[in-house]
Structure 1
């Protein structure tokens, strides 16, 4: 099972409403995504914590409905 762009973007915008989000389908299969997220919520947080916030926003879909997600996160 794969996750389409709208579903993935929905999870991310719900969790990071202030963010600039760029999604790239790396393999053209809705199953291997790259997300670039710029959000004030990441300010002062180490990269590991930033990524944990993103994975939390995906509500358990990582590794199931969403197979792979490359992340680039930063504060504005």
Structure 2
């Protein structure tokens, strides 16, 4: 069953309340998304750990309701070129 961009955004916003979150439906099918998440919570984390944190925030939907998610995870400093 597909997931809406709003539902995906809500799950991420709950886990990362300070985040600037951008969601793009890549195929128009509710199964393939791109997400850009900017959060101070990622400070000091390697990319793999950041992605694991995002997948954990999705509460098991990855691989079920959500087939593919291209991720960009940044701290505010990184997003501002710092």
TM-score of the pair, normalised by structure 1: 0.97
Mapping of residues 54-69 of structure 1, within 5 Å: 54-69=54-69
* CA RMSD after TM alignment: 0.5
The ranges of structure 1 where at least 4 consecutive aligned residues each deviate by more than 6 angstroms after the TM superposition are none
* Structure 1: gaps spanning 5 or more residues: none
Equivalenced residue count is: 76
Query: TM-score if structure 2 supplies the norm length?
Result: 0.90
Match of 2:47 in 1: 47
Q: Which has the larger radius of gyration?
A: 2
Match of 1:72 in 2: 72
Structure 2 gaps of 5+ residues are 77-82
